[in-house]
Amino acid sequence: MRKQCPQCKSENIRICSRRRDFLFAAGCLVVILFFSLLFYEAGVEGDSLQIFVAFILSSSAVLFAFIMGIYFFVRGIRTRGKGYYCNYCKKKFETPLLSPIAKADYLSDIRRPTGVRKKEE
């Protein structure tokens, strides 16, 4: 079954769920830990320029990851259930339209000899 937007019948929809938001928040925590370790390692074994570059890089990455982690965590808390978002008409909805997948035989015209018609039932 294909999922379609109820308004514009587009199949370009995105699933919005709590699990996805909490996974992004956990990914931001991993980024924060990685750049904290990077700064620590540069401080232990490095000269002043290396420490300065590591401080600028890690502090900006940690700040960005912290803001995005808070955003995704709050968004995950506020999300009530699974929802859908149409990327074409920008509409949020709960249940999409379900249409059957047409199983088209694209090679039937190639396999069939020319001039011979299928019998209609």
- The whole-number average pLDDT for the span 15-25 is 89
pLDDT tens digits, one per residue of 37-53: 888 887 777 678 878 88
Per-residue pLDDT, 120:
54
d(CA 92, CA 80): 13
pTM above 0.85, yes or no: no
Per-residue pLDDT, 98:
67
Q: Does residue 94 contact residue 83 with C-beta atoms inside 8 Å?
A: yes
- The whole-number average pLDDT for the span 6-24 is 83
Q: 3-state DSSP call for residue 114?
A: coil
Per-residue pLDDT, 72:
93
% residues pLDDT > 90 (the chain): 24
Of 8-12, 22-26, 96-100, least confident by mean pLDDT is: 96-100
Q: Does residue 25 contact residue 72 with C-beta atoms inside 8 Å?
A: yes
